[in-house]
């Protein structure tokens, strides 16, 4: 018996690449940069308009307030300032969504903030405190098997577990550092193989070949991966052959 599987594919967008119009026909949700690492009111307005046009579920993509390092560097910041920054970023996007008669669908931290909250209990607690107002309203995109997943579940947050189709993993399910030339998977065929393993077999084949169990509800292809469009076009063609379909 052939079983059809429906998955969410998300992209980080509004980060200055300008390829969203081409990407959106091939995804089902997006994470919109809202000023922390990239983006401003103009880019948010443009992306939200495109999301509405293509039927894409819009999410906030808050970051450490660090445009200089594109939010990809862990920084020391006081709890109060981090919470204020996260809240301000999301509220800015919400104001744009209201003007377009759209609702916030999810929240996904960006870059170093995403990785740090996955393994640092104190930071995970701070982050969840910062978004507490959205607890009963939106999904949180969180990494499988992370500290923040455990804490968020205990606190009653709605969760959508995430895995990365265009990133290599270490055995502890951390992402291979972007300092490595093997961090990003750019070849569409390799991304397809990576994704099928996660969706069908529920396992990640790590960089050194070890198979590690994983479960995910949503899969990310980074909008700034050089071959992002080629990857997504290839997935759109090949995934249905595996009975894997996009969940719109």
Residues 171 and 206: beta-carbon distance below 8 Å: yes
Whole-angstrom Cα Rg for the chain: 17
Q: What would the pLDDT profile of 173-225 be if each residue is shown by its tens digit?
A: 999 999 999 999 999 999 999 999 999 999 999 999 999 999 999 999 999 99
The count of structural domains within the chain is 1
CATH number at residue 166: 3.20.20.370
Across-strand partners of 57? 29
Convert 129-161 to b/e letters by CB count within 10 Å (16 or more is b). ebbeebeeebbbbbbbbbbbbebbeeeebebbb
Evaluate the CA torsion angle 190, 147, 117, 91 in order and state its sign.
positive
CA dist 231 → 59, 96, 134, 139, 194 (Å): 22, 29, 33, 26, 12
pTM value is: 0.97
Q: What would the pLDDT profile of 102-141 be if each residue is shown by its tens digit?
A: 999 999 999 999 999 999 999 999 999 999 999 999 999 9
Pairing mode, strands 218-220 and 158-164: parallel
- Its domain, for residue 224, covers 5-246
């Amino acid at each position: 018996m052939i079983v059809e599987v429906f998955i969410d594919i998300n992209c980080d967008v509004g980060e200055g690449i300008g390829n969203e119009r081409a990407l959106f026909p091939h995804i089902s949700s997006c994470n919109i940069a809202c000023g922390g690492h990239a983006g401003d009111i103009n880019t948010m307005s443009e992306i939200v308009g495109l999301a509405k046009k293509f039927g894409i579920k819009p999410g906030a993509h808050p970051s450490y307030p660090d445009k200089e390092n594109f939010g990809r560097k862990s920084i020391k910041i006081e709890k109060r300032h981090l919470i204020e920054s996260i809240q301000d970023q999301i509220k800015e996007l919400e104001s744009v969504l209201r003007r377009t008669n759209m609702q916030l669908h999810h929240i996904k931290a960006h870059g170093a903030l995403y990785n740090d909250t996955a393994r640092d209990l104190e930071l995970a607690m701070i982050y969840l405190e910062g978004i507490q107002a959205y607890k009963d309203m939106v999904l949180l995109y969180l990494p499988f098997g992370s500290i923040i997943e455990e804490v968020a579940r205990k606190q009653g947050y709605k969760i959508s577990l995430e895995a990365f189709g265009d990133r290599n993993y270490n055995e502890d399910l951390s992402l291979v550092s972007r300092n490595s030339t093997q961090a990003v998977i750019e070849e569409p065929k390799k991304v397809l193989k990576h994704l099928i393993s996660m969706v069908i077999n529920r396992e990640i084949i790590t960089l050194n070949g070890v198979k590690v169990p994983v479960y995910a509800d949503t899969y990310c292809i980074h909008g700034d991966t050089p071959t992002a469009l080629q990857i997504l076009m290839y997935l759109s063609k090949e995934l249905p052959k595996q009975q894997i379909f996009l969940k719109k």
